[in-house]
Amino acid sequence: MKNKTKKITAAFLAAMTLLASSAPMNASADGAVKIVALGDSITNGYSMDGSLIASYPQIVSEYYGAELVNFASNELTSEGLLAQLSDGTVQSEIADADVVLITIGGNDILYPVLNNEFIDATKYNTMAELITAMKGQGDMFIFQMQLYLNSVMPEVIKSFNANVQEIENRVHSMTDAQVVVQTIYNPMSLSADDTPLANSGSMTALSANVHSYLEGKPDNTLYPEDGGVNDFIRGLGMSSIVDTFNLFADHSYFYTHINNVDVHPNSKGHLAMAASVIDVLGLPETGAGNSSLMRRAYKDSGAETTLAGVNTAINDSVVGKILKKGVGDVDADGDVTISDATAALKIYAYDLASLEAPITGIDALTADADSSGSVEISDATLILKYYAESTAGLFSGTFSEYIASK
């Protein structure tokens, strides 16, 4: 044990000696892109229970070190967004944007399904309560509700398609920015989730209805087109599309608060949306941004354990982005400093002593600054070199850029 202690002490002394030669100064900041977000409560980051860590526009903006202007409003419909686009302030901000993010349509499609004379979802605290109430109404209730939906949804779909086309036209007339529009997910798409809700006949019936409105169905005679609203969104010619419907398909239990009769995405859902938006944007992986907000959302939401068993592609995408722009920032505070080097040394010391380190999971992965596969003294040294050079004004980029320059 004495030899191990000597090695740990030597590592700290070597690191601190390297640091002593630096004179702290502020590093210069890169210019930021500007992101304007438009849409409904999803874009606005609404969560019924207040548990949401960060909305997808916040995560995307922090990732790029961008300025975010968010005009989203709860309960906004496509018609409401059209009206908002006539506002001079909104027009001015869109004209000045580099990226415009749009999420709209959930209120158009889901409100008639969950809030009508047959169903008032706001009266129930859980989906189990709502399903029990629906079953208690008998078969005639389901038949009557289906007749109602068949009568109102064709016009809802037709109106939404016209509105979203006009939204795209107006936004592109105001700006040369990259415009990203998301398809509408089905919050009751639970077939691959191992939960009691996945096997509920009433839930399956509701989900099938929503699915047909969103995705259409073969030989559809009820709606203006065989395709649903999402096919129309996917066909928008001037915008980039994030296919959130397929992102959430079969796993909405894990990406939304549907169990509590809340159709909004939870923190894991917003993480998945943010990762997909970043992929579609394809912006240069440079600038002042990092992934500290994404990492905090990832850790605190439980995504590290649940996403691994639900959709490893999304899990891997989020982890990859964290490690691409957040490596070295062990404490996830947005900066690579002395404390991160100390944390890396702590991980190394505990491993050397065959003890379980207090820093684990994604935080431990970010401590592997040189991506060697393990945390060593060299990782702490690399972090300290970056800190010394950046504070002395010898390097003005991010830690990821610093590594790439070596």
Confidence at 228, pLDDT banded by 50, 70, 90: confident
pLDDT at 4: 44
pLDDT at 98: 96
pLDDT at 22: 31
pLDDT at 21: 34
Residue 16 has pLDDT above 70, yes or no: no
pLDDT at 227: 67
Confidence at 156, pLDDT banded by 50, 70, 90: very high
Percent of the chain with pLDDT over 90: 58
Higher pLDDT, 216 or 46: 46
pLDDT digits (tens, 9 = 90+) for 305-337: 888 878 888 999 999 999 988 999 999 998 999
- What is the number of other CB atoms lying within 10 angstroms of the CB of residue 127? 26
Confidence at 68, pLDDT banded by 50, 70, 90: very high
> Mean pLDDT for the chain?
85
pLDDT at 2: 45
Confidence at 218, pLDDT banded by 50, 70, 90: low
Confidence at 270, pLDDT banded by 50, 70, 90: very high
Residue 42 has pLDDT above 50, yes or no: yes
